[in-house]
Each structure stands twice: as structure tokens, then as C-alpha cells.
Amino acid sequence: MLAFVPRMHNNCREIQLTVEKDNVVAQKLYKSLGFDDTGKVNKYGEIVYTIPVIDAQE
């Protein structure tokens, strides 16, 4: 997905996803891939993670 999104969506500058608070395994996985915890939670109580998109032109 990290390579697909920039190819298909040239204007995308970051990818966001949400993780349930109790899903520590997923949180560790996303952090290991470079996602950062934004400190925000969505209306369902899920933590919002984000990662900048690398320009496919680089």
C-alpha cells in the first residue's frame, strides 16, 4: 500500500489508519513500518496513525 497509494494518487501526502486501543500487536507493527501515533482518536475510540507518502518521482 505504501508504494501503491503514491502511484495511484499523485496528490496524496500522507496515509492515515486507525488502530483499536487494545490491539498492541498492530500498534507495534505499524510503528515498525514508520507510522506515527498522532495522539488523536476517532469517534470510535481508535488511535489514528499517519505516515508521510514518499514521492514516487524520487
Q: pLDDT tens across 10-50, in order?
A: 888 899 999 999 999 999 999 999 999 999 999 999 999 99
When pLDDT is cut at 50, 70 and 90, the band that residue 51 belongs to is very high
CA 11 and chain centroid, separation = 16
Cell representation of residue 3:
508504494
Q: How far apart are CA 49 and CA 44, in angstroms?
A: 14
When pLDDT is cut at 50, 70 and 90, the band that residue 58 belongs to is very low
When pLDDT is cut at 50, 70 and 90, the band that residue 55 belongs to is low
Residue 57 scores a pLDDT above 80 = no
Residue 3's pLDDT is 80
Q: How far apart are CA 7 and CA 23, in angstroms?
A: 30
Q: Amino acid letter at 37?
A: D
